[in-house]
């Protein structure tokens, strides 16, 4: 498996910091997959992840060792309330204390504990669904955002549509290790297509990226946050993909991408006045599934140790009907 | 792979309907795994699911076809409020309507939708964690339930401990098809160890069950509920495992079991006055992971069609810290 | 204090069951208060409830006996999930069990219990805010509903605007007692302006209704639901105000009205195909505050006993910022 | 109305900072109301607030001007997640955008907005219920805390028991104005019984405090937080009542007390190692209702302007069944 040629103009030369609208428009036009899978499509790039690809991916399992790529879901997470995004709140409905007291009303010594969680679907390790981001009121496949996502939820591209599909070959691109210091990229570091190709080449034969693959890009920011405190992890400065990666993400025909950061793309964004411009291209125009806040550190250490950067990944979102994203516990098996 | 001999006394003969306490006590004594994996163990029967088992399981993937075994997570679920168990409530924080209106305050045409869910962790497709059920105030491995699960959650055996492990070989035992009419067992049907062995034998070579396997038992009740309405699905009468399966579940050394019913065991329970007595043995004493409310119908149809009842399963719970159970989107790949 | 003349055409003659749109349009035109209190108004009929009115209301207190007019806020309420309206869910964050165990980490024997509630703001005893109902996309005072209530909430007429105002003279009109059997009106009973005037006259001098008053109309349905079970209390058939009351509600210049039913107006509604047409007139056009699901039974018994139907009422909504309604514990003092 | 003599030993002399346990034990013994209102009592000091007191309180209304003493209930509040106490989260179920779009499925131009709130009951303006605090595992009236407050809530002294009672005469003691600079006491300032008596005397004849009164103590901290940011408002340093006020709170036989701070008593607490020791005496032993996070600033300005410090107060908690506290929108009318 090999990656495509990379013939994009140099990233730095392409972005005029003063003109995000123009850049977004051009990238959207160049990368659009609208209509590619029919008018009714609700899967976007998951169409690339066929049964054949999945069968090949399963063959990558050798040792059987498994890694959870999820962060803990609890109140110690990074959210600070912006956009009413809070950390998950877990509360008990019944406890061992109640059971031990014998006050639960059950017969023959039976006791039970129950619990409940309340969480924004964007609060921790997650998939962005196709209804999560819009460009000038347009959702994936050219639909009117106002028709797609109402107060009742995403009626067309809800995350439940992807419930059974996200299992296949995945590749870790350890940008933190390849380009950073002590395995970490600094905040504001923009990973360009050239960087991605360099990493792929450096990581060797198991790191090729192509159609239907799930690409995991580790920046090292999560490792830093774990060590130094969350700080602005949930929305502040971060390493991440350059806006100039849009064409690469389109051309490689990957099924999905995920990072260990809050927002997948570099922060601050590369335009003078901007907010997540790469999202604005890749979700509504490419139809790309984007994963955020994944914990790639243990997996990365294993990949560095054995030199194998490809593996089997199952990353099945909880199918909350009509959700524009969902929590996920991604499991990589090598 | 073959199953163990089954030398239990006949199920029907064992259960004295008037004496649940005695039956539970005897089964607990016979099946206890307390101390088997050390005093600090928080994994129970997941200890059987080793990397080797996982590597063998991955080799079962042939066609690459994947099945989600999750029910939809929404307000159309079966919960009616008993024990404050409600259906998941999904609400929006931002919508396509807001985005299309241009009132979100983002630059350059960017728009977004966000959402939130509130759900009991036992409300839909789930794993019971080891802190979910107690026997006379004792939790898994003999711990005092009051020390394990407080209002802060399960401080010892929280579901996050199992976050990376539940991926391996799984076997579907289609009891509905083997023993029922039109693929469905009637409510109150108790599946005995003899039944399980009969199904295994009938399904052929791919259906053997042994150490480290994840066993999925389909009763057909979910298919019936989907057709006829939920009725008492969440706690009422149901087909399910007989109390007499306790020793079988212990002896086979399976890693986990899941069913398409609310409560895994037969309802009404087989004692005159009882509540989930099999839970009371298998969770605190065997340390068994129990999955409930799984949707096995599409998978079962595929198994019936190709005659292969074993497959690769990833069923990774959302790692809510300290949870006594968790929602899961199990993915079977054949 | 006396009530206005009532010169409306007979109610029954006015409503053409086949033409709700026309009736709503006519009533809206006849009753509109748009612009009455300026373009920026966010208070509607609460403008009638002046300090003077409030001072007069306080003088009605004689015995000092107080009545809570709130239903219990718990899972035993009437909600069934329609429009995602659930009953309040109350869960504990800490309990006396934790405290008694000494496991909370506090010094010197201190222990504490904490708790949390999750509830739709329309789930139980409540005020409808002015942003709760729209007519053809128009909110109170003629505003565009899409400008007023977004996913961020009601940015103009949020319930917090009424936080300090709803205290004043109130009058109970016991329609159940006056018109019903054993104090209860049957479901589907439409209370007309004539009925209201008849009740006022029958109840005597303390029951006059005028500018700035808060009118409580008891139908007896809650008493029935308490005795017989909720049934369709939350949205099904109910006694309530006739659509023909719109002009009366406008002309009397009352500050607010509340009933012991889910929806204030008669159900089924009086048109062939309709949904809460009286709401559609009184909230966006009159700017009237409507209270629902109040418990008027104990207060009504006291009024019947002492013959005094006027009293001091404080009904202050919890000021959830931007809410289109809010729970309230109304306190009547006689 | 006059206040009692104050014959307590000097506050400063009483508290040995190294011995909180002894001080709490002595104060509890001196102040206990256990058994005073019978074994079944669930009302504590609200027993002092009789109908007669209430009738007298209502006579204090002169101008009819009303004040809400509630803070806004929203995500801009002071909570930071400690003990899983978050700020209220308000989300929409339906909006004006949906209504204006005509996509709600209602007939004849009807549109509606609905919403939901999720909040800890201790998150904002609130009453502490009698089940909120325990002393060495004992709740109000000497009950075992483990019997009173389980995972199901407060089964004995739930806030619903107080639903109809908290309306009566209230007195504002403006400690910030009397003792502070620019109306504000500094954090850590302990208000002693002598201070309280000095303020009462200085405020004149309307400020006397006695049986059945509701006492509001303004420190000015909320004004400071509003100006300078929340900082540690929710649990950090604060002005508040000295531990030495316990006997005063008992002897005056007030019905309730509330402050404009998070925790009513001075923070840091006056012992070397302590947590809310005054709570530990007044709630379980005196049975006193304590209000926290009230906004007293506008009311205080009015009192300073007209020299009248007494008024009518209705402060009815939302009756969440079994709650150990509850949000409240207190309304003062002068």
Mind giving me the DSSP string for B230-267?
-TTTTTSSB-EE-GGGHHHHHHTT-SEEEESSSSSB-B
How confident is the prediction along chain B (334 residues), in pLDDT tens digits per residue? 333 444 444 344 567 999 999 999 999 999 999 999 999 999 999 999 999 999 999 999 999 999 999 999 999 999 999 999 999 999 999 999 999 999 899 999 999 999 999 999 999 999 999 999 999 999 999 999 999 999 999 999 999 999 999 999 999 999 999 999 999 999 999 999 999 999 999 999 999 999 999 999 999 999 999 999 999 999 999 999 999 999 999 999 999 999 999 999 999 999 999 999 999 999 999 999 999 999 999 999 999 999 999 999 999 999 999 999 999 999 999 9
Chain D hits for B119, Cβ within 8 Å: none
Instruction: Tell whether the model's pLDDT for residue A53 goes beyond 80.
Output: yes
Is A89's CB within 8 Å of D91's CB?
A: no
Counting every residue written for chain A, the total comes to 334
Closest residue in D to C55 (Cα) is D64
Measured in whole angstroms, how far is the alpha carbon of residue D235 from the centre of its chain? 15
Residue B275, token pair as written in the block: 């509540």
- Cis geometry, peptide bond prior to residue C268 (ω within 30 degrees of 0): yes
Chain C hits for A101, Cβ within 8 Å: 97
Tens-digit pLDDT profile for residues D2-22: 334 444 443 445 679 999 999
Q: Which pLDDT score is estimated for C302?
A: 98
- Using CB atoms, which residue from B91, B95, B151 is nearest to C95? B151
- Using pLDDT thresholds of 50, 70 and 90, give the confidence band for residue A103: confident
Closest CA–CA distance from residue C69 to any residue of chain B (Å): 25
- Mean pLDDT of the A42-67 span: 98
Q: CA dihedral in degrees (C246, C248, C253, C254; nearest 10)? A: -80
Chain A hits for D86, Cβ within 8 Å: 86, 89
Q: Which pLDDT score is estimated for B203?
A: 98
DSSP-derived secondary structure letter, C138: B
Closest CA–CA distance from residue D151 to any residue of chain A (Å): 5
Q: Which pLDDT score is estimated for D94?
A: 97
- Mean pLDDT of the A95-100 span: 97
pTM summary value: 0.95
Q: Which residue has the tokens 């509607």?
A: C44
Test mutation, A105, A116, A151, A322, chain D, max D CBs within 10 A: A151
Test mutation, A74, A81, A85, A91, chain C, max C CBs within 10 A: A91
Is B150's CB within 8 Å of C101's CB?
A: yes
Closest CA–CA distance from residue B97 to any residue of chain C (Å): 9
Q: Which pLDDT score is estimated for D15?
A: 79
Is D85's CB within 8 Å of C114's CB?
A: yes
Measured in whole angstroms, how far is the alpha carbon of residue D29 from the centre of its chain? 23
Counting every residue written for chain D, the total comes to 334
- Using CB atoms, which residue from D89, D101, D150 is nearest to A84? D89
Q: Taking the CB of residue A215, how many other CB atoms lie within 10 A of it?
A: 22
Instruction: Tell whether the model's pLDDT for residue A3 goes beyond 80.
Output: no
Is A153's CB within 8 Å of B90's CB?
A: yes
B202 torsion bin: left (phi>0), alpha (psi -120 to 50), beta (else): alpha
Q: What rounded mean pLDDT belongs to chain D?
A: 95
Q: Which parts of C123-239 fold into alpha helices (H)?
A: 145-148, 175-179, 193-203, 221-228
Q: Which pLDDT score is estimated for B14?
A: 64
Is C136's CB within 8 Å of D111's CB?
A: yes
The arrangement of strands across the sheet holding A66-68 comes to A66-68, A331-333, A310-314, A167-174, A214-218, A256-259, A289-292, A126-128, A325-327
Evaluate whether A334 touches A308 at the Cβ level (below 8 Å). Answer: yes
Q: Pairing state of beta strands A89-94 and A114-120?
A: antiparallel
Is C151's CB within 8 Å of B87's CB?
A: no
Q: Which parts of chain B fold into alpha helices (H)?
A: 11-14, 20-31, 51-58, 96-101, 145-148, 175-179, 193-203, 221-228, 246-251, 277-281, 297-306
* Angle at alpha carbon of residue C68, lines to C82 and D39, rounded to 5°: 115
Chain D hits for B118, Cβ within 8 Å: 118
Of D272, D247, D276, residue with least CA distance to D261: D276
Which residues of chain C are modeled with pLDDT < 70?
Answer: 1-14
Q: Which long-range contacts (CB under 8 A, 24 or more apart) does D300-305 make?
A: D300/D172, D300/D174, D300/D176, D300/D177, D300/D183, D300/D218, D302/D65, D302/D67, D302/D334, D303/D172, D303/D174, D303/D203, D303/D334, D304/D174, D304/D177
Is B84's CB within 8 Å of C84's CB?
A: no
- Mean pLDDT of the A264-288 span: 97
Of B82, B110, B92, residue with least CA distance to B262: B82
Is B95's CB within 8 Å of D95's CB?
A: yes
Q: Which pLDDT score is estimated for C14?
A: 65
Q: Is D2 exposed, middle or buried (0-12, 13-18, 19+ CB in 10 A)?
A: exposed
Report the distance separating Cα B5 and Cα B57, nearest Å. Answer: 23
Q: Which pLDDT score is estimated for D14?
A: 65
Closest CA–CA distance from residue D184 to any residue of chain C (Å): 24
Of D89, D171, D125, D118, residue with least CA distance to D325: D125
Q: Which pLDDT score is estimated for A14?
A: 65
The residues on C that touch B, with CB distances below 8 Å, are 75, 81, 84, 86-87, 89, 91-95, 97-98, 101, 103, 118, 146, 150-152
Q: Which pLDDT score is estimated for D8?
A: 41
Report the distance separating Cα D104 and Cα C314, nearest Å. Answer: 34
Chains that touch A (3 or more CB pairs under 8 A): B, C, D
Which residues of chain D are modeled with pLDDT < 50?
Answer: 1-12
Measured in whole angstroms, how far is the alpha carbon of residue B126 from the centre of its chain? 6
Q: CA dihedral in degrees (C208, C210, C212, C214; nearest 10)? A: 40
Of B250, B193, B261, residue with least CA distance to B222: B261
Q: Which pLDDT score is estimated for A15?
A: 79
- Using CB atoms, which residue from A97, A101, A116 is nearest to C91? A116
Q: Which pLDDT score is estimated for B143?
A: 98
Q: Which pLDDT score is estimated for C164?
A: 97
Is A146's CB within 8 Å of D101's CB?
A: yes
Q: Is B279 helix (H, G, I), strand (E, B) or coil?
A: helix
Q: Which pLDDT score is estimated for C103?
A: 87
B44 torsion bin: left (phi>0), alpha (psi -120 to 50), beta (else): left
Closest CA–CA distance from residue D198 to any residue of chain C (Å): 31
Report the distance separating Cα C257 and Cα C294, nearest Å. Answer: 11
Q: Which pLDDT score is estimated for C159?
A: 98
Instruction: Tell whether the model's pLDDT for residue A11 goes beyond 90.
Output: no
């Amino acid at each position: 498996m090999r990656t495509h040629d990379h013939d994009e103009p140099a990233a730095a030369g392409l972005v005029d910091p003063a003109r995000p609208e123009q850049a977004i428009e051009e990238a959207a036009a160049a990368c659009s997959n609208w209509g590619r899978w029919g008018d009714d499509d609700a899967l976007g790039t998951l169409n690339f992840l066929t049964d054949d690809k999945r069968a090949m991916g399963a063959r990558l399992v050798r040792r059987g060792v498994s890694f959870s790529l999820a962060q803990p879901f609890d109140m110690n997470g990074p959210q600070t309330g912006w956009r009413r995004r809070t950390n998950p709140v877990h509360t008990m409905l019944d406890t061992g204390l109640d059971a031990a007291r014998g006050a639960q009303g059950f017969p023959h010594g039976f006791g039970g504990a129950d619990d409940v969680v309340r969480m924004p679907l964007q609060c921790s390790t997650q998939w962005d669904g196709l209804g999560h981001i819009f460009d000038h009121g347009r959702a994936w496949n050219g639909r009117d955002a106002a028709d797609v996502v109402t107060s009742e939820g995403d009626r067309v591209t809800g995350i439940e549509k992807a419930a059974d599909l996200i299992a296949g070959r995945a590749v870790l691109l350890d940008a933190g290790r390849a380009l950073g210091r002590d395995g970490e990229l600094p905040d504001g570091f923009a990973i360009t297509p050239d960087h991605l190709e360099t990493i792929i080449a450096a990581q060797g034969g198991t790191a090729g990226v192509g159609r239907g693959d799930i690409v995991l890009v580790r920046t090292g920011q999560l490792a830093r946050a774990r060590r130094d405190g969350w700080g602005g992890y949930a929305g502040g400065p971060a390493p991440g993909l350059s806006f100039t990666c849009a064409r690469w993400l389109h051309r490689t025909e990957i099924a999905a991408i995920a990072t260990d950061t809050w927002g997948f793309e570099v922060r601050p964004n590369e335009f003078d006045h901007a907010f997540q411009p790469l999202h604005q291209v890749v979700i509504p125009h490419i139809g790309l599934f984007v994963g955020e806040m994944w914990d790639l550190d243990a997996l990365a250490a294993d990949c560095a140790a054995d030199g194998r950067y490809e593996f089997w990944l199952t990353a099945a979102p909880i199918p909350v009907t009509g959700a524009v994203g969902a929590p996920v516990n991604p499991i990589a098996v090598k």
